[in-house]
Structure 1
Amino acid sequence: MKIEFSLCVVLLTVCAVVKGAAVHKQVKVITKAEEVTYNGKLPAILNCDYVISSGEDLPVTVTWFQGDGPRSAGKVLSCTGYTKLTKSCYNHQVYGSEFQGRLSLDVNTPSLLVTEVQATDNKNFWCQISLEGDDLASNGELGIDEKSVVFRIPGPYELPKFHSVSVSDSLVISQVVLSDAGRYWCEMRGSGYKNLGETGTDAKSVVLEVF
Structure 2
Amino acid sequence: MSAIMQAEGLSRSLPGTPPVTLVTDVTLAIEPASFVAIVGPSGCGKSSLLYLLGLLDRPNSGHVLFDGKDMNPLSGDRRAHIRLASFGFVFQFHFLLQEFTALENVMLPMQRLGLLNRAQARDKAQSLLQAMGLGAKSGKTPDRLSGGERQRVAIARAIANDPALVLCDEPTGNLDSQNSARVVELFRSLAHDQGRAVICVTHDADVAAAADVQISMLDGRISETSVRTR
> Which structure dedicates a bigger proportion of its chain to helix?
2
* TM-score computed with the length of structure 1 as normaliser: 0.31
* TM-score computed with the length of structure 2 as normaliser: 0.29
> Which structure dedicates a bigger proportion of its chain to strand?
1
